[in-house]
Structure 1
Amino acid sequence: MGVDYYNILKVNRNATADDLKKSYRRLAMIWHPDKNINKQEAEAKFKQISEAYDVLSDPQKRHIYDLCGEEGLKSGQVPNPTRAARNRHQGFHHNHQQHPNPSFRFNPRNANDIYAEIFGENSNGNASSSSNGGGNGIRREGYFRSTTMNSGEGARKAPPLENVLVCGLEELYGGVTRKMKISRNVFDGHGHPHLVEEIVTIDVKPGWKKGTKITFPEKGNEEPGIIPADVIFVLDERSHPVYTRDGNDLIVKQEITLLESLTGKTLELTTLDGRNISVPLTEIIKPGHEVVVPNEGMPISKDPRKKGSLRIQIDVKYPKRFTEGQKYELRRVLG
């Protein structure tokens, strides 16, 4: 049995050009390979949708298809009487004697070209053609970056869905890759919603700050007449037992004794990436003193080779009491 392009595109046989375009938009968004976990199935569906639109939106191809069916369209030959009779029963009206255009040759358009034409080639910069074996080749990279401005005249976009992504300071210091699961409702080829799950990858870069947003365009639930929401992950910082962050700087609090504040001490610290560093205190330290160690803070996200400072805030622990002998010695030494 020949392919029924009208059924594939979910339109009736009197569909206008606008009807075809609207149906193509909806089905292309549902079945694009980049929006489905089962890439193989989605790619096959997407090719069918593209070919159906290609045929029905072209007056000459549609006329030949209506007269001769898929077999006559693609082969250039009028189908046999049995096939023709069946197609007449399905609504086709065949001329058994002659192809309506003997010089016609069916050349299906590239699926990417059709998509670029419908959704707008200049809107995302990635809908260019691909010669993927001719016909209906599909290039996946960046194909569905954003359809916010091109998903249908007057279409409203659902508000973004925000999720919190919590990372520790060690992860924000060195960078980390996180895999997150997204669950959402999408429409199948018959317009019925079903739940799909997708794993998205987030590459957290060294130096990213609290509040950084990572956006996955149009990964929200699909609803009729509404462009799916963007899914956004908002970065948050988990508190650290030793360090706190202030912009690109790291702050650590250290307590020393009165004797150490007067005679000196070497502080031993372990950095967020596991290195041990020594910071000598050679001056007399007063309570509230801050020692700044350059280039030992957080990486600067725009240039991770550079870092902020490590700021050591020092408190001096005083004795609760002195004996008379200790007081005597202090007066003698300190004058």
Structure 2
Amino acid sequence: MGQDYYSILGIIRNAKDADIKKAYRRLALKYHPDRSTDPCADEKFLQIAEAYDILSDLRKKATYDKFGEEGLKGGIPPEFGDTGAWTTGYTFHGNANKIFRDFFGGDNPFADFFDTKGEINLGFGGLRGCGVKKQDPPIERELHLSLEDLYHGCLKKIKITRRVMNEDGHTSSIKDKILTIQVKPGWLSGTKITFPNEGDQGPNNIPSDIIFIVKEKPHPWFCRDKNDLIFSASIPLAKALTGYTVEIETLDDRFLSIPINDIVHPKYTKVVAGEGMPLSKDPVQKGNLVIQFDIRFPDKLTPAKKKLINQALNG
């Protein structure tokens, strides 16, 4: 009659993986030789480690459940093996401290778990210290969007490749995942979109958050200043003095004809209210369209033209 590893951990035979881990955590902390006053702590700590090593591994657990300790350690006979050959038996390596370190993480799991007085630290959510998984730093990626995307809003699907843990809780594999971002009208460059815990998974870590940061692509004729759109119109000097109509194609495919009846000087701007970018908090509201002017001066003037300009301006 072999050992009953379920009884060693104090769990039932159909216990789930989470129950196995919970039982090991409780008993390993209770009987750790560095902390326990039980005279049999060394022996119990070793038994607990071996029981966990077997029951936390799906293949070992399945063999143990079917053939018991004798079959697990002696090997499976040919008539039961998948290949028809006698499989090699399991041998516990005997290093209970390694099992403990691998489970809790770190070379000295008690360094943070116990305070300077040797008392267990308790915090909100239960035990804290090395027994609590730490989250990896966030992963930041740029999300390049056109001005049209930020004006109308859009749906972006981004494929990421990450490491995920398999069902056995010990091995991992590489898998793709599609993340969906609903771009809202009016988002500013620098807006952050966070996908919690979508980074690589591991047995002793909390996956990192993935953060996408909006980066605005250059536009052929608009520049953006927060919620305002800046348009630069190139006009000849004569039109700057006598009047001009600016034609602008908007981001929603309309054409604006904006008459300029003022004299356009180098610092002059024309503001068209409500023709800028949508406000992210209220997309119905919009910023302004600000028209700046690049006045084209003639390269040279004939004496006759200079005389006419002189007369016109001084008349």
The two structures have a TM-score, normalised by structure 1, of: 0.57
Picking from 152, 176, 182, the partner of 1:174 is 152
Q: Does 1:327 align with 2:310?
A: no
Structure 1 residue 224 displacement after superposition: 1.9
Cα offset, 1:88, TM superposition: 9.9
1:160 paired to 2:138: yes
Give the deviation of 1:21 after TM superposition.
4.4
What percentage of aligned pairs have identical amino acids?
A: 40
Structure 1 pair 255–151 and aligned structure 2 pair: CA distance change class (3 A): farther
Match of 1:304?
A: 283
Q: Distance in 1 between matches of 2:239 and 2:294?
A: 11
Q: Deviations for 1:42-62, whole angstroms, at most 9, x for unmatched residues?
A: xxxxxxxxxxxxxxxxxxxxx
What is the letter of the counterpart of residue 224 of structure 2?
R
Match of 1:23 in 2: 21
Partner residue of 1:185 out of 148, 151, 163: 163
Distance 1:332 1:89, change over 3 A: closer
Aligned to 2:223: 244
Q: Assess, with a 3 A threshold, how the Cα gap between structure 1 residues 89 and 174 changes in structure 2: closer, same or farther.
A: closer
Distance 1:215 1:309 in 2: 30
- Contact kept, 8 Å, 2:201 with 2:207, in 1: the verdict is yes
Deviation per residue, 1:153-203 (Å, 9 max, x gap) = 522111111111100101101111110011111111222110111111101
User: 1:326 & 1:286 partners in 2: Cα distance?
Assistant: 21
* Residue aligning to 1:256: 235
Q: Note the 1:6-85 alignment, pairs <5 A.
A: 12-16=6-10, 20-21=18-19, 23=21
**For structure 1, which segment, 152-161 or 168-177, has the greater mean C-alpha deviation from structure 2 after superposition?**
152-161
Quick one: structure 1 residues 261 and 192, their matched pair in 2 at CA, closer, same or farther if it must change by over 3 Å? same
Residues 24 and 215 (structure 1), Cα distance of their counterparts in 2 relative to 1, 3 Å cut: farther
1:319 Cα deviation from its structure 2 partner: 1.1
Structure 2 unaligned residues grouped into runs of 5+: 12-16, 24-64, 70-124
Paired letter, 1:187: M
Equivalents in 2 of 1:22, 1:293: separation in Å? 68
Q: Which amino acid aligns with 2:21?
A: S
> SS at 2:240's partner residue?
helix
Give the whole-Å Cα distance in 2 for the aligned partners of 1:207 and 1:189.
Answer: 42
Who is 2:36 aligned against? Answer: none
1:195 lines up with 2:189 in the alignment: no
SS at match of 1:253: strand
Q: Classify 1:227/1:332 alpha carbon distance in 2 versus 1 (closer, same or farther; 3 Å).
A: same
Question: Hey, what does 1:216 align to over in structure 2?
Answer: 195
Residue 279 of structure 1, aligned match among 249, 258, 262: 258
Letter in 2 for 1:224: P
Distance 1:274 1:216 in 2: 34
Q: CA deviation digits over 1:116-154, x for unaligned, max 9?
A: xxxxxxxxxxxxxxxxxxxxxxxxxxxxxxxxx799852
The total of aligned residue pairs comes to: 208
Structure 1 position 14, deviation (Å): 2.6
Structure 1 residue runs of 4 or more that deviate by more than 4 Å after TM superposition: 19-22, 87-91, 149-153
Q: Does the 8 A contact of 2:9 with 2:20 survive in 1?
A: no
Give how far 1:331 is off: 2.3
The CA RMSD measured in Å over matched residues stands at 2.8
Asked whether the equivalents of residues 288 and 315 of structure 1 are also in contact (C-alpha less than 8 Å), the reply is no
Query: Aligned pair in 2 of structure 1 residues 296, 184: CA closer, same or farther (>3 Å)?
Result: same
Distance 1:306 1:254 in 2: 25
Any stretches of 5+ residues in structure 1 without a counterpart? 1-5, 26-86, 92-148
1:235 matched to 2:235: no
Q: Which has more radius of gyration? A: 2
Q: Is the 8 A contact 1:208 1:301 kept in 2?
A: yes
Aligned mates of 1:88, 1:243 — CA distance in 2 = 72
Q: Aligned partners of 1:294 and 1:300: how far apart in 2?
A: 13
